[in-house]
Structure 1
Amino acid sequence: MQTIRTTCPYCGVGCGVLATPDGGGGLAVAGDPAHPANRGRLCVKGAALGETAGHRGRLRAPRIHGREAGWDEALDLIARRFCETIAAHGPDSVAFYVSGQLLTEDYYVANKLMKGYIGSANIDTNSRLCMASAVAGHRRAFGSDTVPGLYEDLELADTVVLVGSNLAWCHPVLYQRLVAAREARGTRVIVIDPRRTATCDVADLHLQIAPGSDAALFNLLLAEISRRSEVCPDDLENIQEALAAARATSPAVTGLAHSQLRQFFDLWMHSDKVVTVWSQGVNQSDSGTDKVNAILNCHLASGRIGRPGMGPFSVTGQPNAMGGREVGGLANMLACHLEIGNPDHREAVRTFWNAPRMAQRSGLKAVDMFRAVEEGRIKALWVICTNPAVTLSEADRVARAIAGCDFVVVSDIMAQTDTMRFAHVALPATGWGEKDGTVTNSERRISRQRRVLTPPGQARDDWRILAEVGRRMGWGASFGWQHPAQVFAEYAALSGVAAGLGSDFDISAHAEISVAQYDALEPFLWPQSATKQGGRFFGDGRFHTPSGRGRMVAVTPRPPQPVSEAYPFRLNTGRVRDHWHTMTRTGLSPRLSRHLAEPYLELHPTDAAQLGLQPAALAEVTNAHGSAVLRVLVSDRVAPGHPFAPMHWTGETAPTGRVDALVPGATDPVSGQPALKSAAVAIRPFAARWFGFAVSAGEMRPDCDYWARAILPNGVQAELAGRKPPADWTDHARALFGLEDEPLVVHDRARGQVRLAFLRDGRLQAALFVAAGPVALSRSHITALLCEGGAEVLAGRPGAGRPDEGALVCACFGIGVNSIVKAIASRRLTSVEAVGQALRAGTNCGSCRPEIRALLDAGVACREAAQ
């Protein structure tokens, strides 16, 4: 089969992918060595894309109130209900909530329909949750939402500073590039993070600052830059005000020792080329924009911007968060980086679109949008390619708001999501590998995603669905595209108009692009016009502010809201290595689920001891907004009082693991970005009287107080727990697995253990293991026996001579902790490279290298103790 060059659908790195269909619905995936973002590298999530390309769980046809319907009926209903709502209540009574996973063409059509034809700016995106503060900071400092630098600056820098960015897990290919540069040319790495993350493995300096004190730290750096006379005041606006605020900042706020601050200042100041990379640890705050500007101030003041190897760099969390910014997908922007508050910009876009009723002001940002839904001000809502009932702050409140909305449309690839269950109209969309379009990565590089597979059932591209609704609402001529190349060409032409108004975004070189040229389009950096070709911004000292000068911002650091006696812990949230967003894609891959198969709460040992929580116990986390039940992971990687929990689990995979239900609706006043990393919570042991682990070759229907489900190569597994044991474990197991067979049962009443196995023709179909405490057995052994083994599964562990991989460490090659520990001990391995040579672990994406290093350190400690 023909190999197709396309782009990965995960993080904002934007890696090139070589995808080869096998003709049977499967897909082989490899990194594209010709793509400049990754040069052939892929992380484990990208490498596993072929495992997620099947049709399991897909929505295959439109549904109206739960019944299957035809496209004409569904689209007619949407157009009619939106028209009726607008006629009765005005344009602002409707809203679109879209996604950084959409392609640029989808985004453009949605933005045009809402802002130019419906006449409201009530279109916002889940990118509001990840990079809105970066956008706002850029616009305050540069006069535009411009990323100044390129990925290669990481390889050209003398020092790279990572702030609130676990690059090793969240942007693994950039992490690999940084590690390679460090090994090749001695690049120094500084990590600023309250947690000791996997990225700290390569840090020359880890500053474990007090949570929320990023702005204070960079204010102190700015004051030091001034003290060492490295500021160029004539080139910048507001510099004296910014310096005054910086000098007024107390070092004590950071929680760092004077020696640590001095070491940081010296590393920065002695490095001509400095790149500062930041991500959600900075943005997801109620003062995120100020934190961004504190970083930008240092680069502006020291002149370390816009030249090779230097500059501030925001890395985004979604494949097309940048494309959404460029196309005006945020409620407070217009397409092509034009300003919705600027009358000249509005008129230029209105004229270009021939729009009947152009939005005149900013719309509602994400959190405010769903509050308007709750209050009944928004009466018709269209959610596209995202899952706000899980991911937004106060997620339970958001779910209730959607449930109470008069008319809800949800476009998604999956038939069941937390948001989809509230849809009056459900629309089947195409997913990655099934659609054509473009995405923009974090360095402003536009790449093609290309169709590789046939969509399931009646699934349609999002831009086609939106355009068809626009036609049925009466605007046929303006939504008459027949190919995504035509949408892209229109967008490129609009960028030329924007450039004439002073916008930085200009891809007008592609305004006449043909279908054939679009199909062959190579990755390119914007701008791309008759006069500008890619490259960096601001190295010449010219910015997009009215004066043409960079603009400093006076930042007065604000600490997070204090915790209370009732809620004494501050909960940090984030991602894990092998999953992404709400797992509608990564949750389909068995190997991605093996690394971390259930939601967890990472607690410092001191906190765990005070709370009476042992490793692997369950903890109940609560506050006024919601609750969660999470598996306890005891670790000194987090600071006392500051636990961490990942955000990926949903009502479909672990109903009590929806951690954003705990996050209050506080937002940054400038960007509108929610503060997702500082919820005040209480923690106590979850009063479970029984714990269970189950595997099944068929479906599994848990009905208990706690469960977390994960896919296996030949079935499904689940962790279970409950406050009250069932009256009969055999009946419970039959209901759990949907089986009527008679199981083999081992019941140890003295230990409170029950083990049941369902066999068919001597082969294991399902098994349930129950204990009074967390179930201790070899999960990798049990899952390997599913559909293969028999009654020996009841032992819970492999017999003599059978290997037990243990918990997964290297997902790329399926290497477990037991194999690595055994190799370290038996072969006396002393380096990550040696482990890689022996087992291949850590030699592909590299994300597991910190875990391997920790196992090596533990092995050394054990040998030294024995001696």
Structure 2
Amino acid sequence: MDSSSVFTTCPYCGVGCGVQLEWTTASVTVSGLDDHPANLGRLCSKGTALAETLELPDRLLYPHVGGRRVSWGQAVATVAERFRAAITRHGPDSVAFYVSGQLLTEDYYVANKLMKGFIGSANIDTNSRLCMSSAVAAHKRAFGEDLVPGCYEDIEQAEMVVLAGSNTAWCHPVLFRRLQAARERNPDLYVVAIDPRRTYTASSADLHLALAPGSDAVLWNGLLVYLAEQDAMDRDFVARHTAGLEAALAAARKSAPDIDAVAWRCELSAGDVRRFYQRFAATGRVVSCYSQGLGQSSSGTDKINALINCHLATGRIGRPGATPLSLTGQPNAMGGREVGGLANQLAAHREIEDPEARRQVQDFWNAPAMPQRPGLKAVELFDAVAGGRIKALWIMATNPAVSLPEAGKVRRALRDCFVVVSDCVANSDTARLADVLLPAATWGEKDGTVTNSVRLISRQRPLRPPPGEARPDWWIVCQVARAMGFGSAFAYNGPAAIFREHAALSALNRGRRLFDLSALADLSDERYERLKPLAWPVTAENPRGTLRLFVDRRFPTPDGRARFVAVTPRPPVHPAARSLPFVLNSGRVRDHWHTLTRTGAVPSLSGHDPEPFVEVNPHDAAAFGLEDGGLAEVAGPTGGAIVVRVRCSYRQRRGSLFVPMHWNGAFAARAWVNDLVPPVIDPVSGQPESKHAPAAIRPFACDWYAFVLCRKALPAAEIAPSYWCRLRAAPGIWRYELAGSGPVPDWERWLGEGEWVEYRDTRQRCYRGALLRDNHLEACLCLGPDPRLPARRPLIEWMQQDHLDAGQRAGIVALVEEAGAENTVCACFQVTEAMVRRALDQGAEDLEALGRLLGAGGKCGACRPELEALLRGQ
């Protein structure tokens, strides 16, 4: 590195892309690292816009206790005192930590060490429980350890790629681009997408299996039966290196005896099922990628084991281009599990119920206490908060008031508990409920390591020191540990020292587990600073890491054999019913992340999906009186209801609804989709069933609809309590979408004084207004009796100008063009769908032509699946 560049890792999904930051006194530029094995120079729209997140609005800069700014010493003393008091009065299990895949491994390590080794409770769990725990449990059952056997190169070496419950084009765009590039090099590479929705991922596949929600295990059980009947198994591999096939096959035959039965139960055509099975059986190099569509289920562990069974039956594991491949949701979900960040783990992949494992970890830490049973998993933990059993809770770098099932209950529970929140922003739904706020460093300031989906450890390096009094999470935890009397065990001088201890602890695994960083246990500070990406295990025999596991066909089980798991498919716990006739599915959109803390601050990322929405099939919309672009109220079995924009799409399966999980009380009025999700969990993994909740939908009528563009934050909840959402329209410009009943708001009160240019049509009940100061457009608004309002984009562009000419002044109130398809398709070049359609009308016939005319698709490539769909007329 030279003085003007930093090599680091992206803070978003589990792909773990390498990022290069170049800075001058005036600017920071972001690019992908060409030699990083995760992304090979590519970045998605979110990664490309990382420089725009370095100055987060609403940044938490100073410690606060009871809403009052205090010193670090006061804040740390308060946390330590309240935790000590709870432990003294109610025992160690009366306190808990809830941590995050956004933490670095070093942060996770000290938090886990403090809770399990020194407080003496296992009540530390993580938001990774919500997205990865079913995969973890399935891997442990099949392989004997929490590990992912393959690597991203396997996708490029495969002859067939199955995307099961994974909208890869939106949730892991860089991997999807790698897959697309592989298909360009090898047109025979066959892609299957298994998803109830016809996502952009599914649209690009050779075969889309739009199965009934929740029926995945039946489909994979049927494949196992087919492989046996067609003699398509690797009998030698099965005999030498596995156990349990007969029981798994017997269970599979009960639920999926033949193709016709599978087709009926999965609501697929028998021809499509047969096509999938035949191709899988005949193809030697198959990679099956799976993500939240399988895991976020009350039977997610079984679904993933049913998939893995098919790879074990054919020996398609430990070979180039042949592996089951879990796609991780967060940047450091795996790193957190390496150090025991789940309530049912110890550090270094050890089992908390194993007495020998407990003794070894306790001796290594010289710890005074060690829990003998697992702690509370995420949903159970917050139930214990609601029930008063947890007296003090520390939440780190996550927003459970939004992300957990029955989130309204979580918010109510937090009001009656002593809550500490360490985070980088002060206005999240969870932060607003905290008794103590601790300002934490964020990306661009953090220093440590993360582990991606395929065991690849990468460094996150800081571009600058944290602003104000923000501090790294590991430092905050260590300060509290010292104040609680555990100082000698937490006297680290930096993240390198923590990493060395973590690696040394892993060395105890030699010969027992594959997680082993023993070759890094004596890493100097200088070598730690220069550490290049490498995949564990990292041992004396493999000092540069291990790309692919199970090449030797041995598994970390007592007899060295992998395990088939007998799977009896179970339907979702709460099926649709007469009063709740729809299946509600939640998930991500392309350009946003989690609860908008970072991406919500970036104007270029808000144009693709500017509002919370419900996607509904047009036939269902017509049957229930819903209007595309109108508002709808969606209700669930928990008694909660949300109000969101209607988006009609044939991509949505009839009888199902899709609502994104990102919007929350900081960005919208009533858009907490997890308020509607009942707290049903997988009995093995504890992962919630976030993909299947019964729901009802109906139109949400309002007397008026409006949008406002302005340069200041407005009290939107006071102006339009029925419906509002806000986003960053451009640097320094807020966009508000509003609707309400009753009198129209007094806009001058909210927007201020100045020269008002106005247009009123009392008959049509339409209003256009603009506030000018010195011929500069300060604010503008449009209002009407229905949601069909003029386009926002021209007004946003005019607000960015220094002065308006006479034509623009007149045009502000004369706007009649309906918004139409003005949502952004290409975030990098701010290309809208309308612009793409005009280019198609002018003769553009392929991606290259669109790139030449508009730039779209030529930078990060995240928009290419949508551009391809538009080219196909979809």
**Shorter-chain TM-score above 0.5:** yes
- Any gaps of 5 or more consecutive residues in structure 2? 256-260
CA distance in 2, matches of 1:800, 1:283: 47
Give the match for residue 473 of structure 1. Answer: 484
Give the match for residue 524 of structure 2. Answer: 514
List aligned pairs for 1:288-303, cutoff 5 A: 288-303=300-315
Letter of the structure 1 residue corresponding to residue 831 of structure 2: I
Give the match for residue 827 of structure 2. Answer: 811
Question: What is the deviation of 1:844?
Answer: 2.0
Question: What is the deviation of 1:798?
Answer: 8.7
Distance 1:439 1:128, change over 3 A: same
Render the CA deviation track for 1:113-165: whole Å, top value 9, x for unaligned.
00000000100000111110000000011111110000000000000000010
Asked if 2 retains the 8 angstrom alpha-carbon contact of 1:191 and 1:199, the reply is yes
Letter of the structure 1 residue corresponding to residue 645 of structure 2: R
Render the CA deviation track for 1:512-571: whole Å, top value 9, x for unaligned.
111111111111111001134413222322111222111111111112232111111111
Distance 1:158 1:63, change over 3 A: same
Give the match for residue 258 of structure 2. Answer: none
Give the match for residue 461 of structure 2. Answer: 450
Deviates more, 1:253-262 or 1:170-179: 253-262
List aligned pairs for 1:400-415, cutoff 5 A: 400-405=412-417, 407-415=418-426
Deviates more, 1:652-661 or 1:15-24: 15-24
Distance 1:653 1:381, change over 3 A: same
Q: Alignment partner of 1:657: what SS? A: coil
CA distance in 1, matches of 2:163, 2:677: 25
Give the match for residue 227 of structure 2. Answer: 225
CA distance in 2, matches of 1:752, 1:205: 49
List aligned pairs for 1:67-466, cutoff 5 A: 67-186=68-187, 187-231=189-233, 232=235, 233-234=238-239, 235-249=241-255, 250-251=261-262, 252-405=264-417, 407-466=418-477
CA distance in 1, matches of 2:736, 2:23: 31
Q: Alignment partner of 2:670: what SS? A: helix
Letter of the structure 1 residue corresponding to residue 333 of structure 2: A
Give the match for residue 608 of structure 2. Answer: 595
Asked if 2 retains the 8 angstrom alpha-carbon contact of 1:179 and 1:202, the reply is no
Question: What is the deviation of 1:655?
Answer: 2.7
Distance 1:805 1:219, change over 3 A: closer
Q: Alignment partner of 1:743: what SS? A: strand
Letter of the structure 2 residue corresponding to residue 84 of structure 1: A
Give the match for residue 763 of structure 1. Answer: 776
Question: What is the deviation of 1:817?
Answer: 2.1
RMSD between aligned alpha carbons?
1.7
Distance 1:668 1:805, change over 3 A: closer
Q: Choose the corresponding residue for 2:552, options 507, 527, 540.
A: 540
Give the match for residue 720 of structure 1. Answer: 738
Give the match for residue 695 of structure 1. Answer: 709
Letter of the structure 2 residue corresponding to residue 677 of structure 1: K
Give the match for residue 654 of structure 1. Answer: 668
Residue 504 in structure 1 maps to residue 520 in structure 2? no
Distance 1:194 1:471, change over 3 A: same
Give the match for residue 19 of structure 2. Answer: 17
Q: Choose the corresponding residue for 1:632, options 624, 627, 646.
A: 646
Letter of the structure 2 residue corresponding to residue 771 of structure 1: G
Distance 1:59 1:800, change over 3 A: closer
Give the match for residue 723 of structure 2. Answer: 706
CA distance in 2, matches of 1:32, 1:62: 36
Letter of the structure 1 residue corresponding to residue 840 of structure 2: I
Asked if 2 retains the 8 angstrom alpha-carbon contact of 1:810 and 1:842, the reply is yes
Letter of the structure 1 residue corresponding to residue 575 of structure 2: P
Give the match for residue 49 of structure 1. Answer: 50
Question: What is the deviation of 1:455?
Answer: 1.3
CA distance in 2, matches of 1:21, 1:166: 34
Q: Alignment partner of 1:248: what SS? A: helix
Asked if 2 retains the 8 angstrom alpha-carbon contact of 1:630 and 1:657, the reply is yes
Render the CA deviation track for 1:763-794: whole Å, top value 9, x for unaligned.
11111211110042111111112253658467
CA distance in 1, matches of 2:749, 2:479: 45
Give the match for residue 29 of structure 2. Answer: 28
CA distance in 1, matches of 2:348, 2:536: 12
Asked if 1 retains the 8 angstrom alpha-carbon contact of 2:790 and 2:816, the reply is no
Asked if 1 retains the 8 angstrom alpha-carbon contact of 2:637 and 2:677, the reply is no
CA distance in 2, matches of 1:113, 1:218: 42
Question: Would you say how many aligned residue pairs link Structure 1 and Structure 2?
Answer: 849
Q: Choose the corresponding residue for 1:580, options 593, 599, 604.
A: 593
Question: What is the deviation of 1:301?
Answer: 1.0
Asked if 2 retains the 8 angstrom alpha-carbon contact of 1:587 and 1:710, the reply is yes
Render the CA deviation track for 1:636-665: whole Å, top value 9, x for unaligned.
101111010101001000131111111100
Q: Alignment partner of 1:194: what SS? A: coil
Asked if 2 retains the 8 angstrom alpha-carbon contact of 1:176 and 1:845, the reply is no
Q: Alignment partner of 2:294: what SS? A: helix
Letter of the structure 2 residue corresponding to residue 759 of structure 1: L
List aligned pairs for 1:745-764, cutoff 5 A: 745-764=758-777
CA distance in 1, matches of 2:706, 2:53: 28
Q: Alignment partner of 1:655: what SS? A: coil
Give the match for residue 838 of structure 1. Answer: 853
CA distance in 1, matches of 2:814, 2:397: 43
CA distance in 2, matches of 1:658, 1:198: 25
CA distance in 2, matches of 1:322, 1:543: 19
Structure 1 runs (4+) deviating above 6 angstroms are 797-801
Asked if 1 retains the 8 angstrom alpha-carbon contact of 2:769 and 2:813, the reply is no
Residue 613 in structure 1 maps to residue 626 in structure 2? yes
CA distance in 2, matches of 1:609, 1:723: 24
Asked if 2 retains the 8 angstrom alpha-carbon contact of 1:116 and 1:353, the reply is yes
**TM-score normalised by L of structure 1:** 0.96
Render the CA deviation track for 1:374-402: whole Å, top value 9, x for unaligned.
00000000000000000001010001011
Residue 851 in structure 1 maps to residue 852 in structure 2? no
CA distance in 1, matches of 2:810, 2:92: 62
Question: What is the deviation of 1:796?
Answer: 5.3
CA distance in 2, matches of 1:316, 1:137: 14
Distance 1:301 1:713, change over 3 A: same
Question: What is the deviation of 1:238?
Answer: 1.6
- Any gaps of 5 or more consecutive residues in structure 1? 862-867
Percent identity of paired positions between Structure 1 and Structure 2: 51
CA distance in 2, matches of 1:820, 1:313: 35
Asked if 2 retains the 8 angstrom alpha-carbon contact of 1:778 and 1:796, the reply is no
List aligned pairs for 1:667-686, cutoff 5 A: 667-686=681-700
